[in-house]
Structure 1
Amino acid sequence: MSVFNGYNLFITLFFISLFGMILNQKNILVMLMSLEMMFLAVSFFLIYTSVYIDDVSGQIFALLILTVAAAESSIGLAILVIYYRVRHSITVEFMNLMKG
């Protein structure tokens, strides 16, 4: 049995992105990149498992996840640009000012 298999890669990628979200809570861009990496790890896991069990449903779910991730990143970056124009800063500490 091989020591390295695909699942180790996906778990490692997922936990690196999780630690990136937890440890770096001041920079919103790094948090968004960590979230995208988390989506990518889950998508790779679904594709790998789908190929392993010879079923296409995991690949379809991965395509849906990547579509949602692309939409989420574009909307998130648009909100960041607008927030930067208003506040001239994108620090997470002042994000509570956006509450209604």
Structure 2
Amino acid sequence: MDFISFFFVAVMLFVIGVGGVILNRTNIVVVLMSLELALLSVSLNFLIFSVCLGDLMGQIFAIFILIIAACETSVGLAIILVYFRVRGSIRIDQASLLKS
């Protein structure tokens, strides 16, 4: 089994996720999806190193990351849904109106 290729895939997924957060400043749903992609790539790295080292702790951390990502997604989508009902748009550049 070639762990380097799995690690390369996880690093590329992380770069795509961070790039999606940095480059996309208009749609909050795409930003949340990019954050989820970055979290899942970190979870994949934990799994890869857990198998390489023969330790179970990486797999336990990966499960915790998946649980936290699911909770973050549900809360984030609930906030987006309420914001869309109030404002009629989910653009990030219009989110500064929430400060008042």
TM-score category, normalised to shorter length: over 0.9
Letter in 2 for 1:49: F
Runs of 4 or more above 3 Å deviation: none
Letter in 2 for 1:68: I
Q: What is the root-mean-square deviation in Å for CA atoms of aligned residues?
A: 1.2
TM-score under structure 2 length normalisation: 0.93
Aligned to 1:71: 71
- The 2-side partners of 1:75 and 1:10 are apart by 26
Q: Give 5+ residue unaligned stretches, structure 2.
A: none
Deviations 1:9-54 (A, max 9, x none): 1111100111111111111010000000000000000011001100
How big is the shift at 1:6? 1.6
How big is the shift at 1:5? 2.1
TM-score under structure 1 length normalisation: 0.93
Q: Give 5+ residue unaligned stretches, structure 1.
A: none
Deviations 1:44-100 (A, max 9, x none): 000110011000001111111110000000000000000001000110011112225
- The 2-side partners of 1:13 and 1:49 are apart by 16
> Going by fraction, where is helix more abundant, 1 or 2?
2
The sequence identity of aligned pairs, in percent, is: 45
